[in-house]
Amino acid sequence: MPRGQSTVGRVMAQVAMVMNLDKCIGCHTCSVTCKQTWTNRTGVEYAWFNNVETKPGIGYPRRYEDQEKWKGGWTLDRRGRLVLRSGGRVRRLLSLFSNPDLPVIEDYYEPVTYDYDNLVSAPAGPDLPVARPRSVLTGRPADITWGANWEDGLGGAPEHAGGDPNLSGEWAEKVRFEFEQTFLFHLPRLCEHCLNPACVSACPSGAMYKRVEDGIVLVDQDRCRGWRMCVTACPYKKVYVNHATGKAEKCTFCFPRIEAGRPTVCSETCVGRLRYLGLLLYDADRVGEAAATPDEQDLLDAQRGVFLDPRDPEVVAAARASGIPEDWLGAARRSPVYDLVARYRVALPLHPEYRTLPMVWYVPPLSPVLDAVSVAGGDQDDPDHVFAAVTRLRIPLEYLASLFTAGDTDVVGGVLMKLTALRSYMRAVSLGEAGDEAALGAVGLTGADARDLHRLLAVAKYADRYVVPAAHKEDAAALGAVESGCPVESAGGKVALGMPTLRRTPSEGSA
C-alpha cells in the first residue's frame, strides 16, 4: 500500500472474513451449526449469531438497516467528529432504564416449540392429532407469522420485501416482485468485529471489548449489567440479550477454534465453500481518521488505506516492534482476505456508511452477464458489449451499491466488470484458447492475476481458504482460557461467552 513519506504507526492484526456471494445457495447450514454450537440454550432461542437473509428483504430483525429508526453506528457532528448516532454519554445515561431505540421480540420473531406429546398422548378419536405451535416465551398457542428469513427464496417477498430500506430512490421502481422480473441473492450475516465498534463505545459497564491479539469483539459476562446500549449502537443488530440471564451475547467468531488455528464453525460447515478467513495487518493509529472521513463514499478507500501490506519491509519491521509473532506475519502474507480485499479489491464491506469499519467483507453477486448481452442484441465475444451489459444486470447496480459502497455504483460496477473479465478469460483458457489479455488489462488484471484470483474464487482448497494462525502458548494467560468443562452452563447459570479478560483496546472513535 503506497504510504508516501509517512511512517507506519501502531501495527495490529485482525482476523477477518470474506464471503463470495456468488456461491451462497441459501441452505442455512452455517446458521444451524452456529445455533447448535452457541445459542441452543434457554434465553437465546430467538438469537441467530449467524443468519442468512434473502435480498431484497427487510432482514432480521425487521428493517435493521434503517438507522433513522434504530440509531445504530456512528455519524459526524458539526465539527466533523465521530459521535454515536444513539447519542453521547448524557443521553445514554438518561435512557438507561427506558431505551426507546431497541427492537422488540416482534421485530425478531417469537420462538416456538410444538406439542409433540400430543401426537402420542391424545385419546383415541376420529381426528388425527396434531402438534400445535406454542410460544417458547409464554407457553401459549402461537401463530407463526414471522421468522429470521421470512423472504427465503422470495417466498414472502411480495408482501414484505418492498419494505427493504435499501430500496429507496427513483431507481427502486425498476425492481419488480413478479415471477419473471424479480431477482434474489442470499446474504449471510454475522457480527462484523469492526475496527471501530460502536457497541464497545456505547457499553456503560465496559463489558464489550475488542481483543488486542486478534481483533475479535467479545462480551465479558461478569461485567455486563444488561443496559442494552450495545444493542442500539450496533447498526447490524448482531448483539442480543439473553432474556434468562439478562446479559448481552453476540457472535464470538468462535474464538476457541481461532485460538487453536481452526476456522469458525460457520466457515467449516459452509456447503458452498464461500467463506475465507485470514489475517489483516492494519495501522491502529489511522482507524479514527478513516472512520471520520467526511464523504461516505470515500469510506471504502479510507478503510482500505488503513490496511498494511504484509510484504512491505517497513510494515514487517513495525509489526515485529509491536510484538506480532513471525508465524502470524507469515499467515498475513498468505491471507486470502488480504488478497480479495486489498490486492485484487473485489471484496466490499457491508454498509461502510455506518463508519464502524466492518471486518466481514463480501464479493458481490454477478448476475448472468451473457444473458444480458443476448437480450440487448450484443456480441458475447465482444468485451465492450459484455462490460456494457454489467450496467443492465438483473440485480440493479444501485441496489448492490446501497449495500456495499454507500451508493457508489462506479465501484460496484468496477468489481463486477473485473469478475466478468475473469470469467471470460478463464473460460477461454479452460477451452485451450488464448484468453483476452486486453480485457483483463482494462480492469487492472494480468493473466497471472486472473489465474490466482480464479484459484481463490473458484477452486480454492481448504488450506487456501482458511489461513488462521494459532494463538501462542506464551499468551495463554492473557487469552484467559475458559475453565474446563462445558463453557456454557444450563439455563439461568453464568454464560462463558467472551469470558477471557484480555488487554482491551478502546474504541478509536469513542463518543
pLDDT digits (tens, 9 = 90+) for 256-275: 999 999 999 999 999 999 99
Average pLDDT over residues 39-57: 94
| pLDDT, averaged across the chain | 87
Read off the pLDDT of each residue in 138-166 and give the average, rounded to a whole number: 87
DSSP tag of 405? S
pLDDT of 389 reads 73
Q: Residues 205-241: pLDDT tens digits? A: 999 999 999 999 999 999 999 999 999 999 999 999 9
Q: How far is CA 481 from CA 39, 264, 478, in A?
A: 20, 17, 8
For the packed helices 447-457 and 409-430, what is the interaxial angle rounded to 10 degrees?
100
- For a pLDDT cut of 90, what percent of the chain falls above it? 64
pLDDT at position 319: 95
pLDDT at 450 over 50: yes
Burial 443-475 (b: 16+ CB within 10 A, else e): bebeeebbeebbebbeebeeeebbbbbebeeee
Per-residue buried b or exposed e for 31-66, using 16+ beta carbons within 10 Å of the residue's own CB: bebbbebbbebebbbbbbbbbbbbbbbbbbbbbbbb
282's enclosing H/E stretch is strand 275-283
**Distance from C-alpha of 7 to C-alpha of 499, rounded to nearest angstrom:** 36
- Which segment of 55-69, 154-168, 385-399 scores lowest on mean pLDDT? 385-399
User: Quick one: pLDDT band at residue 92, thresholds 50, 70, 90?
Assistant: confident
Q: What is the band of 416 on the pLDDT scale with cuts at 50, 70, 90?
A: very high
- CA-closest candidate to residue 196, choices 155, 245, 235: 235
Question: Looking at residues 482-507, what average pLDDT do you find?
Answer: 37
Q: What is the pLDDT of residue 396?
A: 87
Which residue's entry shows cell 465521530?
A: 82
Rg over alpha carbons for the chain, rounded to the nearest Å, is 24
pLDDT of 290 higher than 70: yes
- Percentage of the chain beyond pLDDT 70 is 87
Reduced to 3 states (helix: H, G, I; strand: E, B; else coil), residue 185 is strand
Mean pLDDT of 179-193: 87
In this structure, what C-alpha cell is assigned to residue 441? 488489462
Output the pLDDT for position 193. 98
Q: What is the CATH number of domain 272-465?
A: 3.30.70
User: Does residue 404 register a pLDDT over 90?
Assistant: yes
pLDDT of residue 304: 97
Give the model's pLDDT for residue 370.
58
**What's the DSSP call for residue 474?**
G
Is the pLDDT at 174 greater than 60? The verdict is yes
Task: Identify the weakest region by mean pLDDT among 2-6, 275-279, 420-424.
Answer: 2-6
Residue 339: the pLDDT is: 97
pLDDT tens-digit readout, 309-364? 999 999 999 999 999 999 999 999 999 999 999 999 999 999 999 999 999 999 99
Residue written as cell 450484443? 378
pLDDT band at 303 (very low <50, low <70, confident <90, very high): very high
Please give the pLDDT value at position 186. 94
Whole-angstrom Cα distance, residue 464 to residue 455?
9
Q: What is the mean pLDDT of residues 279-304?
A: 96
Helix (H/G/I), strand (E/B), else coil: 389: helix
How confident is residue 179, by pLDDT bands cut at 50, 70 and 90? low
Inform me whether the pLDDT recorded for 498 exceeds 50: no
Grid coordinates representing 388 are 456494457
DSSP assignment of 81-106 equals -EEETT--HHHHHHTSS--SS---HH
Stretch among 44-58, 365-379, 435-449 having the lowest mean pLDDT: 365-379
| Spatial CB neighbours of 4, under 8 Å, sequence gap ≥ 6 | none
> Would you kindly state where each structural domain of the chain is located, as residue ranges?
272-465
The predicted pLDDT at position 63 comes to 95
Distance CA 282, CA 306 (A): 5
CA 449, chain centre distance (Å): 26
Residues facing residue 54 across a β-bridge: 186
Beta-strand ranges (E) seen in 49-205 are: 51-55, 74-76, 82-84, 112-114, 133-135, 185-189
The answer on pLDDT for 378 being more than 70 is no
Q: Where does 245-312 have alpha helices with state H? A: 255-259, 265-268, 287-291, 299-306
Can you tell me the mean pLDDT for 470-476? 72
- 3-state DSSP helix/strand/coil % of the chain, to nearest 5: 35, 15, 50
> What confidence category does residue 384 fall into, taking pLDDT thresholds of 50, 70 and 90?
low
Decide: 127 and 103 in contact? Cβ < 8 Å.
no
Return the DSSP state at 495: B
Return the pLDDT at 120.
Answer: 87
Across the range 272-285, mean pLDDT stands at 96
DSSP string, 201-214: HH-TTS-EEEETTT
CA–CA separation, 328 and 293 (whole Å): 30
> Which residues, at least 6 apart from 462, have a Cβ–Cβ distance to it below 8 Å?
none
Burial class (CB in 10 A: 0-12, 13-18, 19+), 189: buried
